């Protein structure tokens, strides 16, 4: 059996596949066309967020028994089409809850305290103690879209920091989950109006694309903060730029962008904008767990 791996996949999972006699091909950095040309020979595919697997790819994968996402989000995979061809679609829904939620809190702290700018300035020879007035999490109203596994963990950590309350927009959330941490479920507009810090942990779907645009940001409190660690395309980037530039938003941070990698963005000119290159799941712990879980699921799909 042969497995085609298109993006960085931890050695722990690779070894589990090899131990069962599976041939593992690491095809990192290949173009879409190169991968489509390779895939007919393979029995299983393992990808991450940067490999779209749409109809042409699936049609080419004539021997595929499974498509594995070494992560959570399946927005880049045509799941229904794969299933209609009898191909199993695998992912690891609990693999990066800790990694992403800790990055989210790190990004919130970093942005509220202007750490990236202060760090850059000091290294460039400036020591200016009054140039970075910050804000605290303690006492703040937090808006979380959505209160799934990651959003829930972010809420728990922020409550431990002394946040005043958690408001959530999540139309599919069970009340008993919100009740566990005393979160209030509200319409999106209310969350945006009332929160000092809004953080997005929503899947990208047709419903959530550009869920936060100019009109939604206009509802937010003057001087509030916005974070997106869900998917690029949920927050409309031109609207975010305008809001940061005008000071409507005091700061923002994202781990995901609408086009990844971005060629350039006006957002990069702004000191009150923090960005990381989709590294939410990028801890050793998460990657080992994800690779092992996906290896187990792939072996099962291959009947090994
Ligand atoms: N930055 C990263 O590296 C990274 C890593 C992992 C996951 N993610 C993203 O985070 C998302 C959430 O992950 P999770 O583990 O918390 O998923 P989850 O399935 O546990 O939670 C998703 C939540 O979104 C809610 N939801 C669904 N449709 C919605 C809508 N239209 N509007 C508002 N809420 C809606 C659901 O009710 C659920 O509570 C993933 O889908 C993925 O896109 C990003
Ligand atoms: O690390 C990745 O490639 C994707 C991580 C994340 O966005 C996910 O959905 O699991």
Q: How far is the CA of 294 from the centre of ligand 2 (A)?
A: 13
Q: Is there a single domain that holds both residue 153 and residue 270? A: yes
CB 71 near ligand 2, within 6 Å: yes
DSSP, residue by residue, 172-229: T--HHHHHHTTPEE--HHHHHHH-SEEEE-----TTTTT-B-HHHHHHSPTTEEEEE-
Tell me the HSE value of 25 on the side-chain side, using a 13 A CA sphere: 16
CB 148 near ligand 2, within 6 Å: no
Residue of 34, 260, 269, 284 with catalytic role: 260
pLDDT tens readout for residues 266-282: 999 999 999 999 999 99
> Strand pairing partners for 249?
224
Rounded Cα–Cα distance for residues 180 and 195 (Å): 20
Number of domains observed in the structure of the chain:
2
Rounded Cα–Cα distance for residues 85 and 147 (Å): 33
CB 96 near ligand 2, within 6 Å: yes
CATH number at residue 235: 3.40.50.720
pLDDT tens readout for residues 158-207: 999 999 999 999 999 999 999 999 999 999 999 999 999 999 999 999 99
Q: How far is the CA of 280 from the centre of ligand 2 (A)?
A: 7
* Confidence class for position 143, pLDDT limits 50, 70, 90: very high
Rounded Cα–Cα distance for residues 123 and 209 (Å): 39
Q: Is there a single domain that holds both residue 119 and residue 83? A: no
Ligand 2, atom nearest to 48 Cα: 3
Q: Is there a single domain that holds both residue 134 and residue 66? A: no
Q: Is 231 a catalytic residue?
A: yes
Q: Is there a single domain that holds both residue 263 and residue 116? A: yes
Q: Is there a single domain that holds both residue 206 and residue 142? A: yes
Q: Is there a single domain that holds both residue 220 and residue 83? A: no
Q: Is there a single domain that holds both residue 147 and residue 223? A: yes
Q: Radius of gyration of the chain from Cα atoms?
A: 21
Whose atoms come closest to the Cα of 147: which ligand?
Answer: 1
Measuring from atom 13 of ligand 1, which residue has the nearest CA? 150
Q: How far is the CA of 178 from the centre of ligand 1 (A)?
A: 15
Q: Is there a single domain that holds both residue 137 and residue 55? A: no
Do 20 and 297 contact (CB within 8 A), yes or no? Answer: no
Q: Is there a single domain that holds both residue 102 and residue 56? A: no
Q: Is there a single domain that holds both residue 262 and residue 146? A: yes
Q: How far is the CA of 41 from the centre of ligand 1 (A)?
A: 33
Q: Which domain holds residue 29?
A: 2-92+283-302
Residue of 201, 231, 236, 258 with catalytic role: 231
Do 285 and 99 contact (CB within 8 A), yes or no? Answer: yes
Question: What tokens appear for 237 in the block?
Answer: 């980037």
User: What is the pLDDT at residue 271?
Assistant: 96
User: What is the pLDDT at residue 207?
Assistant: 97
Do 91 and 292 contact (CB within 8 A), yes or no? Answer: no
Q: Is there a single domain that holds both residue 123 and residue 258? A: yes
Q: What is the pTM of this model?
A: 0.97
Residue with tokens 């910050």: 134
User: What is the pLDDT at residue 233?
Assistant: 97
Q: Is 260 a catalytic residue?
A: yes
Q: Is 41 a catalytic residue?
A: no
Q: How far is the CA of 300 from the centre of ligand 1 (A)?
A: 26
């Amino acid at each position: 059996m042969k497995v085609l791996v298109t993006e960085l996949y931890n050695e722990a999972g690779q070894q589990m596949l090899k131990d069962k006699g599976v041939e593992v091909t690491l095809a990192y950095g290949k173009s879409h066309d190169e991968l489509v040309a390779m895939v007919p020979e393979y029995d299983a595919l393992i990808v991450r967020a940067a490999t779209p697997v749409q109809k042409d790819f699936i049609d080419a994968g004539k021997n595929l028994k499974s498509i594995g996402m070494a992560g959570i989000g399946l927005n880049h995979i045509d799941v229904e089409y794969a299933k209609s061809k009898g191909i199993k679609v695998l992912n690891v829904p609990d693999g990066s809850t800790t990694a992403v939620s800790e990055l989210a809190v790190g990004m919130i702290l970093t942005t509220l305290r202007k750490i990236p700018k202060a760090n850059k300035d000091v290294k460039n020879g400036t020591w200016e103690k009054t140039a970075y007035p910050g804000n605290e999490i303690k006492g703040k109203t937090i808006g979380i879209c959505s209160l799934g596994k990651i959003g829930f963990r972010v809420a728990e950590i922020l409550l431990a920091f002394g946040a005043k309350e958690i408001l959530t927009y999540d139309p599919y959330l069970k009340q008993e989950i919100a009740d566990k941490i005393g979160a209030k479920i509200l319409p999106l507009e209310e969350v945006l109006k009332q929160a000092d810090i809004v953080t997005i942990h929503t899947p990208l779907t047709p419903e959530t694309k550009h869920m936060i645009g100019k009109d939604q940001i206009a509802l937010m409190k003057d001087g509030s903060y916005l974070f997106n660690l869900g998917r690029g395309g949920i927050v409309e980037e031109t609207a975010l730029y305008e809001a940061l530039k005008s000071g409507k938003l005091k700061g923002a941070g994202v781990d995901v962008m609408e086009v990844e990698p971005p060629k350039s963005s006006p957002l990069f000119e702004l000191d009150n904008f923090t960005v990381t290159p989709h590294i939410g799941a990028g801890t050793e712990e998460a990657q080992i767990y994800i690779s092992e879980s996906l290896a187990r699921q792939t072996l099962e799909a291959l009947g090994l």
